[in-house]
A and B are shown apart, each in its own frame.
Chain A
Amino acid sequence: MNVKYINPFISATINTFKGFLGADLKTEKPSLFDSNKSEIRYDISGIIGLAGEVRGAVVISFPKLVALKIVSDFLKEDIKIFGEDVIDTVGELVNIIAGNAKRDMEEFRIVISLPSVVKGPNHQISWMQGVPVILIPFKSNYGPVYLFVSLKDII
């Protein structure tokens, strides 16, 4: 695994949580993600497609309760409904992570897509065929945060 191109996404995620929420994330060991074998649980994902000189995707996923805690903290309001506010915030979080990661990959010209957000217990994400997906788990005060990075040809 070539971690060189994982690091920009890890730093961007840490910085985004720090800047967005003042929260500290602790990075755990990255691994190759296999949706059939993985035991992680998540209920919402923010997805950004990457195009241009690097193709792939970056995804941030959370269990429902973690997402609700994050959004409540961000909006300084107790959010109980797993609805529009959560979708909006998760979409914007992944947008900021992807945009910030580009700063450390300037040797490639990358265009990021608009975020899309998917909900549902362990929903499937349509990854690019034959391209490895790296899972980077983080620990936070909210609970687990999962970052997935899949980049064609360079990792």
Chain B
Amino acid sequence: MKILVVDDSRIMRNVLKNILKEKQIDENAILEAGNGVEALEMLKNNEVDLILLDWNMPKLNGIELVKIVRNHERLKEIPIIMVTSEAARYNVMEAIKAGVTDYIIKPIRGEIVHKKLEELLGQ
């Protein structure tokens, strides 16, 4: 199993990685990307089972990446949890329309991420 963590903040990627490790997810199963372009590169070269995705990032943002993934034959079924500071309802709606599977608003709590993981991956 592989989980791709996408955020332009390295600190936030580390926070998410630590939350995943608390769920006994192996360090080697976690891939990282600092923007949508890097994420696409990762997705091209790996079989990814879940994406944790920030919205506001340089080069290619989270919403743009969701749209690309959802239109991609091999990638379109991958669950995507948007993990973002964007807390307005119209943003949540926009993300759902673009095709995110779930939505977590920063600041994040470990328990919330764990709960979503259980729902999506059954663990």
Contact = CB atoms under 8 A, between A and B. Distances in A.
What interface size band does chain B fall in? 20 to 34
Nearest to A110: B88
Interface in B34-63: 56-58
Interface stretch (B8-16, B69-77, B95-103): B8-16
Given A99-B106, A100-B105, A112-B56, A91 B9 contact: yes
A85 interface: yes
A19 interface: yes
Contact of A92 (B12, B87, B89, B105): B12
B122 interface: no
Given A20-B107, A103-B87, A106-B88, A114 B9 contact: no
Interface string A97-129: 111101101100110101000000000000000
A61 interface: no
Contacts of A110: 88
A84 B8 CA distance: 13
B interface, over-half SS = loop
Contacts of B57: 114
A interface, over-half SS = helix
Contact of A109 (B56, B90, B109): B90
Contacts of B56: 95, 99, 112, 114
Nearest to A74: B11
A110 B90 CA distance: 10
Interface in A15-58: 15-16, 18-20
Nearest to A86: B11
A147 to B, nearest CB: 15
B84 A16 contact: no
Nearest to B55: A99
A65 interface: no
Interface of B: 8-12, 14, 56-58, 84-91, 105-109
Given A102-B91, A103-B88, 17 more contacts: A74-B11, A85-B11, A88-B9, A88-B11, A89-B9, A95-B85, A96-B106, A99-B56, A99-B88, A100-B85, A102-B88, A103-B89, A106-B88, A112-B85, A114-B56, A114-B57, A114-B58
